[in-house]
Structure 1
């Protein structure tokens, strides 16, 4: 459920949304990816834990990473598609 919600939020970022929405996505992504990293760690899936931890750091709202709108759109699509792919894989978190 977390992956579906995060994927939807990532794809909505492609639309022209108010700045507050992007701040909301950053906070939500930090929490969501943090939870996914924690669950992956409990299941001894170190690679997934590292990926989700890195995504939590990338999207965290405290020290913003300025990539520009176009590059952020690419990141949002890649992350959204990656989340959808992991939903359909057998080893789901």
Structure 2
């Protein structure tokens, strides 16, 4: 689980560079999978902070009905914030 979160975080930070459009489609898929994975693991019958945050991330990055901001300068802070959230969540996971 921690590996998935760190991969998502790294890919989000990499997206700050100017990359081909195919990378951003790939990023949407991976980040959505990571966010949904957190939602499934975190859900225990009640809402909590992580469910809400990663639910919003899944909606924002979903590849089926994409949200477009036509300016990269809007996406860069979003990508950084989401990468930090994935990083924080990976640090807060408890080992079983």
Establish whether TM, by shorter chain, passes 0.5: yes
Deviations 1:9-61 (A, max 9, x none): 10010011110000001011111110111101048662211211111111001
Return 5+ residue gaps in structure 1 as ranges: none
CA distance in 1, matches of 2:45, 2:30: 23
CA distance in 2, matches of 1:51, 1:26: 16
TM-score (norm. length: structure 2): 0.83
- 1:36 matched to 2:23: no
2:75 match: 72
RMSD of the alignment, in Å? 1.8
TM-score (norm. length: structure 1): 0.85
